[in-house]
Amino acid sequence: GESVGLHLPTLSVQEGDNSIINCAYSNSASDYFIWYKQESGKGPQFIIDIRSNMDKRQGQRVTVLLNKTVKHLSLQIAATQPGDSAVYFCAENTEAAGNKLTFGGGTRVLVKP
Protein backbone atom coordinates (compact mmCIF):
# COMPACT_ATOMS: atom_id res chain seq x y z
CA GLY A 1 0.00 0.00 0.00
CA GLU A 2 0.94 3.60 -0.14
CA SER A 3 2.33 5.29 2.92
CA VAL A 4 2.63 9.01 3.21
CA GLY A 5 5.13 10.93 5.25
CA LEU A 6 7.95 13.41 5.19
CA HIS A 7 10.40 11.23 7.11
CA LEU A 8 11.50 7.93 5.74
CA PRO A 9 11.91 5.05 8.17
CA THR A 10 15.60 4.24 8.41
CA LEU A 11 17.34 0.92 8.88
CA SER A 12 20.94 1.11 10.11
CA VAL A 13 22.93 -2.01 9.40
CA GLN A 14 26.50 -3.03 10.14
CA GLU A 15 28.49 -3.92 7.05
CA GLY A 16 28.44 -7.67 6.59
CA ASP A 17 25.18 -8.18 8.47
CA ASN A 18 21.93 -9.18 6.81
CA SER A 19 19.23 -6.56 6.20
CA ILE A 20 15.50 -7.09 6.24
CA ILE A 21 13.23 -4.43 4.79
CA ASN A 22 9.51 -4.78 5.30
CA CYS A 23 6.52 -3.58 3.33
CA ALA A 24 2.82 -3.88 4.05
CA TYR A 25 0.45 -3.66 1.11
CA SER A 26 -3.23 -2.90 1.20
CA ASN A 27 -4.77 -4.37 -1.93
CA SER A 28 -5.59 -8.05 -1.51
CA ALA A 29 -6.09 -8.25 -5.29
CA SER A 30 -2.45 -7.31 -5.97
CA ASP A 31 -0.72 -10.13 -7.82
CA TYR A 32 2.68 -8.71 -8.69
CA PHE A 33 5.26 -7.09 -6.46
CA ILE A 34 8.56 -5.39 -7.15
CA TRP A 35 11.41 -4.08 -5.04
CA TYR A 36 13.32 -1.06 -6.27
CA LYS A 37 16.53 0.54 -5.00
CA GLN A 38 17.01 4.27 -5.36
CA GLU A 39 20.37 5.92 -4.82
CA SER A 40 20.70 9.65 -4.31
CA GLY A 41 20.14 11.57 -7.52
CA LYS A 42 19.17 8.48 -9.48
CA GLY A 43 16.00 6.83 -10.65
CA PRO A 44 14.63 3.65 -9.05
CA GLN A 45 16.54 0.56 -10.07
CA PHE A 46 14.81 -2.81 -10.35
CA ILE A 47 16.05 -5.37 -7.82
CA ILE A 48 13.68 -8.32 -7.84
CA ASP A 49 10.03 -9.14 -8.43
CA ILE A 50 7.63 -11.83 -7.32
CA ARG A 51 4.21 -12.95 -8.47
CA SER A 52 1.42 -13.86 -6.12
CA ASN A 53 1.62 -17.56 -6.95
CA MET A 54 4.99 -17.68 -5.18
CA ASP A 55 5.97 -17.00 -1.59
CA LYS A 56 9.73 -16.74 -2.04
CA ARG A 57 12.13 -15.77 -4.76
CA GLN A 58 15.89 -15.45 -4.63
CA GLY A 59 18.32 -13.34 -6.59
CA GLN A 60 21.93 -12.47 -6.14
CA ARG A 61 22.30 -11.68 -2.41
CA VAL A 62 18.60 -10.78 -2.23
CA THR A 63 15.50 -12.73 -1.28
CA VAL A 64 11.92 -11.55 -1.46
CA LEU A 65 9.28 -13.14 0.74
CA LEU A 66 5.57 -12.72 0.18
CA ASN A 67 2.94 -13.47 2.82
CA LYS A 68 -0.45 -12.98 1.20
CA THR A 69 -2.33 -13.91 4.35
CA VAL A 70 -1.14 -10.79 6.16
CA LYS A 71 -0.37 -8.78 3.01
CA HIS A 72 3.30 -8.44 3.82
CA LEU A 73 6.36 -8.31 1.62
CA SER A 74 9.98 -8.33 2.72
CA LEU A 75 13.36 -7.93 1.08
CA GLN A 76 16.35 -9.62 2.62
CA ILE A 77 19.84 -8.51 1.65
CA ALA A 78 22.62 -10.88 2.61
CA ALA A 79 26.04 -9.60 3.73
CA THR A 80 25.08 -5.94 3.37
CA GLN A 81 27.71 -3.80 1.68
CA PRO A 82 28.28 -0.01 1.66
CA GLY A 83 26.94 0.06 -1.90
CA ASP A 84 23.60 -1.17 -0.57
CA SER A 85 23.02 2.18 1.16
CA ALA A 86 19.97 3.62 -0.59
CA VAL A 87 16.21 4.03 -0.31
CA TYR A 88 14.24 0.87 -1.03
CA PHE A 89 10.68 0.91 -2.36
CA CYS A 90 8.18 -1.86 -2.72
CA ALA A 91 5.56 -1.57 -5.42
CA GLU A 92 2.43 -3.58 -6.11
CA ASN A 93 0.26 -4.15 -9.13
CA THR A 94 -2.74 -6.08 -10.29
CA GLU A 95 -2.70 -7.58 -13.76
CA ALA A 96 -6.22 -6.29 -14.27
CA ALA A 97 -4.90 -2.75 -13.77
CA GLY A 98 -2.34 -3.13 -16.53
CA ASN A 99 1.13 -2.04 -15.57
CA LYS A 100 0.16 0.71 -13.11
CA LEU A 101 2.34 0.34 -10.06
CA THR A 102 1.43 1.59 -6.59
CA PHE A 103 4.52 2.46 -4.58
CA GLY A 104 5.12 2.31 -0.87
CA GLY A 105 6.76 5.21 0.94
CA GLY A 106 10.25 3.73 1.05
CA THR A 107 12.83 2.71 3.66
CA ARG A 108 16.29 4.23 3.89
CA VAL A 109 19.10 1.74 4.51
CA LEU A 110 22.32 3.07 5.99
CA VAL A 111 25.27 0.70 6.05
CA LYS A 112 27.80 1.40 8.78
CA PRO A 113 31.41 0.37 8.11
Partner 1 sequence: NAGVTQTPKFQVLKTGQSMTLQCAQDMNHEYMSWYRQDPGMGLRLIHYSVGAGITDQGEVPNGYNVSRSTTEDFPLRLLSAAPSQTSVYFCASSYSSQDNQPQHFGDGTRLSIL
Binding site for partner 1 (CB under 8 A): 2-8, 31-32, 34, 36, 41-46, 49, 51, 89, 91, 93, 95, 98-101, 103-106
Least distance in Å: CB of 87 to partner 1?
10
Least distance in Å: CB of 94 to partner 1?
9
Nearer Cβ to partner 1 (42/60):
42
- Phi/psi at 87 (nearest 5 deg)? -100, 135
Nearer Cβ to partner 1 (53/69):
53
Nearer Cβ to partner 1 (65/105):
105
Least distance in Å: CB of 28 to partner 1?
16
DSSP assignment, residue 84?
G
DSSP assignment, residue 54?
-
Report how far residue 78's alpha carbon sits from residue 43's, in angstroms, rounded to the nearest whole number.
23
Least distance in Å: CB of 19 to partner 1?
19
DSSP string over 44-111: -EEEEEEETT-SEEE-SSEEEEEETTTTEEEEEESS--GGG-EEEEEEEE-GGGTT--EE---EEEEE
Nearer Cβ to partner 1 (61/108):
108
